[in-house]
Structure 1
Amino acid sequence: MTNLDRPTGSSMSRAGLRFWSAVFAFAVFMVDVLTPLEGAVAVLYVVAILLAARTNRRNDIIVAATGCIVLTISAYLSSHGLQTIASPALRALVSLAAIGITTLLVLQNHAAHSALVQSERRYRRMFDASRIGVVEEDWSGLRAALDSLQTEGADLRDHLARHPDFVRDARRLTRITDVNPALRKMAGASDSAAFIANVDKLLGENDRSFLDALAAFAQGERFHEGETELVRLDGRKVPVLFTITFPPEPDGDHNVLVFVVDITERKQAQDALLAAQAELAHAARVATLGELSASIAHEVNQPLAAIVTSGEAGLRWLRRDVPDLKEVATTIGHVVAQGRRASEIVTRIRTFLKKVPPQQDMLQIDEVIEEATALVARELAKDDVALIVEAPHDLPPVRGDRIQLQQVLVNLLVNAGQAMSGQPGSRTITLRAGTVDRETLWITVQDSGPGIHPDDLPRLFDPFFTTKGGGMGMGLAICRTTVEAHGGRLSVASTPGSGATFHLTLPYSQEHASP
């Protein structure tokens, strides 16, 4: 039961209040009838009405008021009869007016109180029945600590980040007042007391989500959302999404609500989706290498042929009557160099084909471009496609997965070459790279083919959509997903008859961002 459900200021039962209200009203009646007092004794009936009002029942108030009016009139008639209006009649009217006004005010207060009780009960039902975890907190102590904080002109969030002790102490100033059953179950706590006693353990020592919430509260924001992990009392970690509401009222700091949602299933679905995407990406790489088999064979054959040629030359130098050891050493050096080149080609192909978890490495994008163009160079040359690369070597690094970014560029280059297949005249692909600002790197792949039909443009990146006979329809979809996973964007522009241009952007690595 909430405080609003209890008789205000008294522990008496409703029956007891009704009894004492009736007793007091009868006592006032007896005093009014049996004593020679000339004052408006009947005004004291308002006390009986106020006693009845404490039952919080509308009918009790009306019955008490009616009874008091009847007793007032009865006392007047008993003492004065129907004589000419004089001062006793005026006193009786004053008493009746006081009873009427008191009754109206009490009934009005009862209506506002009933609405408040209903609202409280409705809130309590929602609080207890909600499947979303809810915790009520009092942040008024935290407000006082923030008001006394001296930031010395520094940005508030930066100041808080540099003072973890203040943040740690501030978290202890957020007093939990109630926890609903859903959140207690989520945390593995038997009751609110167990939850409150273990709140530091539940949030974890290294949880940084409170820092952002603290900054939002200090800056006067009305809401704050975040994601963190809740450590259950049994030690199991639960990924959660939370929203904190900061009421705007002056006393809103006393009623801060935190809504917590268990996103374990969503995380599992995301992991399954990423695994499926990785499988599709691997399948696409296998298919791409199948298409580039002639180019790969040529790449490997070149160093092998050079090794054979150098080996034969070395044998000839050794078979001379006087072996030329200097020339033999030179040819052996050529053999070693070409052997290493062949090994690098095989390693690059195996790495491209390998199914491994995504890596987050510091990458020089010009090296990624060089490796991707080396994979497709022979394939493009076979179709008389000229590849022009305009990429400076001083581009800032990006953070990402080398193989995934190679796959994006290989797919775009192969698609561009296939789009010009069978086209008369010159066939050219131009790959350019540059910078937009201090934060963004761009790469474009432009071909001189027939372009993309306007009806196909909106669906070009949709899974399983393809304009090629026998195509999987996954290449461009995987490319866009890969680029977006790296924080970038992939788009296309095309004018029929004038070729197509794919535009890719990637953010710089923050560790090497320009000052």
Structure 2
Amino acid sequence: MGLGVLLNQRASHDSLPHDLVLALGAATLCVCVFYIDSFTNIESAIAVLYVVVLMMSSPILNGSGLALLVVWCTCLTLFSFVYGHGTSSDISVVVRLIVSLSALYLTFGLLVKNDASRIALFRANSNLQASEARYRAIFEQSRIALWERDYTGLREFVLQLKEEGVEDLRSYCAENPAVFPQATALIKTIDANRAAMELIDATGITNASAIVHDFIAPDDNAFLELMTTIFEGRRFFEGKGTITTRAGRVRHVLISLAFPERSEDFNRVVVGMIDITEREIAEKALAEARADLMGALRLSAVGALTASLAHELNQPLGAIVMNAQTLDRWIDRTPPDIESAKRSIDRIVRDAQRASNIIGNTRSKIRNQPPLLENFCLATMVEETRALMEYELRSAGVNMEIAVRNRIPPVFGSRIELQQVLINLVTNSIQAFEGSQASRRSIKVDVEQEASNVLISVTDNGPGISQAVRDKLFTPFQTTKKNGTGIGLSICRSAMEALGGGLKVATEGDVGASFQMRIPLRASYVG
């Protein structure tokens, strides 16, 4: 916007009678000065009085008008000089002319500069009003609860405590509970937007400063942290707090504010509050649900562990019972078969020890302890498994063959768990022959090395596994057996994977079943 336009805008706001008086006065003075300077014998710088004409005209003329007036006054001055003195003027007359013209143009420059300052002030004031209008619009229309508060008294109170030697404000407030009501009373509310009034259930009150209800909880930790922010000289504060509305409801809010750098500006601090009550309730409900879920998971884990332990102990305990019955028969003979009885006792001790090892291994898992890892020969472990299963194999009429394909190096792992997996696979094959009319029942165990793994394959010539059953073999509690639990293969696969290996179905077709155990070798043990 140009200077002349702004001056015209300014002049348009002045009263017409006032402008008319100034115009007439300036014109009259101009005529008087011209007459005295041209037609009298007064020897002085009369033309200097044109400065007064210029000053009287400045409120009603814009920049261009003032410039024209200066040119006009200059012309009048030169005319008076030539008319009164001609070309034979002495030096004093010329000096008076120069002084008059200098004063005229100097005044013109000062008036222009003054008008520029007025324009800058006008612009600054206009921008300030526009900024204030924008601020008020944002303040009033925001859906965030906004407060304008005077923290001057609270700041002086907190700094006074610091001057009195208080070093830890939190400890001091804990020892002096009366500080809180005294401190909250020092905060003055200047204004609040509609969202803030709704937050505290005070929509019927139009004047925020008239609110006398103390909705800040005196023991609220957020208020203590706000005081600590001032105490430590920090500018920004954000925290969670609680407020009590005029209706007596407790609401959780997120509080955010920024303190000014200058102490005199603490009389107008904007505080923002966001209602997070619903979120806090949801988080509390979620925490409770999570706690319930963890309890259910613990119960589920206990149930799974119980089922696993029952399944693992079933075989050795069953073997103990059968060996005990066999022992009873050997002793009831006349005469008693002592040698056979001793072999039954040895098998009972062996199976009892195996049951004890299973329990010990389970206890280690409960305590989150790693299983006992050792170096051992897989071929020997497979032979021992056949000896352990001798009674079951003989009772079911199943022949178990072992084939070691090549020289197998010792492996490093949990002997108990690997043997238990193998026993489960052999037991499943034995049970698969129940009701089978096959004339020859056989289970073949192949042991071979493949790269950095040792593979143990357990294959039978039983009825096989259908594709529908094969897809769910390792799913917990899925079984086709009448008295099965459906967790044996799931436990076996988990045990193998925990040792870094794996267990898979290697069956192809619907005749017979084949499972393959993959056991990793440690590089330092490869011979």
TM-score, with normalisation over the residues of structure 1? 0.50
Higher CA-based Rg: 2
TM-score, with normalisation over the residues of structure 2? 0.49
